[in-house]
Amino acid sequence: MNGIEKITARISQDAQEEIDRLTAETDAKVAQIMADAQAQADRETADTLARGKKAAAERLERLQSASQMETRKLTLAAKQEVLGEAFDLALRKLCTMPEKQYVSLLTDLALEACSTGKEQLVFSQKDRNRIGKQVVLAANAALQKKGLPGALTLAGETRKIQGGFIMTDGDVEVNCAFETLVRLQREKLELSVARTLFEN
C-alpha cells in the first residue's frame, strides 16, 4: 500500500469513526428525546385522565344532588296533595253530615259567633232552603234560655259557600263558612296532621 492509499485509508477510517461517533450520539439524543417525549405524553395522559375522572365525579355528584332535590320536591308535592285531600275530605264530611247533626253544629256555631243576638245568618241557596229556618229557631231558643235576646234572623240573600253560614250585623261579617273554617284549621293543624300521616 503506497502513501496516498494509506492517507486515504486513514482519512476514510477517521471519517468512518467520526460518522459512527456522531451516529451513536444522534441515536442517544433521539432515544433521550423519545424517552422524554414518552414521559411527557404519559404525564399529560395521566393528567388528562385525572382531570376527566375529577370532572366525571363532580358531574356525577351534581346529578346525584339534583336527583335528590327533585325527589324531595316530588315527595313534598305528593305529601301536600295528600294533605289537601285529607282536608278536602273533612270539608266534604262536614257538608254531608246527617241533617240533625248539621243543624246542631250550625246552631252551636251561631251561638259562638253572635255577639248581640240580633245578627242575620246568610246561607248557601241549598242550605237556606233546607235548614236555614231550623238553625235560626234553634239558635234563638238557645239564646233565650241563656237570658239573651234571641233575635237572629234568616237573611234573604245567599252566598256561594259549600256549607256553614256568614253572620252579618250591618257592615260586620263573621265568616263561618265551612271552607273558611277548614282552611283556618289547616293552617293551624297541617304540621301535626302531616306528622300523623307521614311519620316513619
What is the band of 1 on the pLDDT scale with cuts at 50, 70, 90? low
- Superfamily designation of domain 98-198: ATP synthase, E subunit, C-terminal (3.30.2320.30)
Region 42-68: mean pLDDT is: 86
Please provide the average confidence, as pLDDT, over all residues in the chain. 86
Q: What pTM does this model have? A: 0.62
Q: Using CA atoms, how far apart are residues 178 and 102, in angstroms rounded to an integer?
A: 11
Q: Using CA atoms, how far apart are residues 29 and 25, in angstroms rounded to an integer?
A: 6
Query: Can you give the pLDDT at residue 200?
Result: 56
Domain boundaries, the chain: 1-96, 98-198
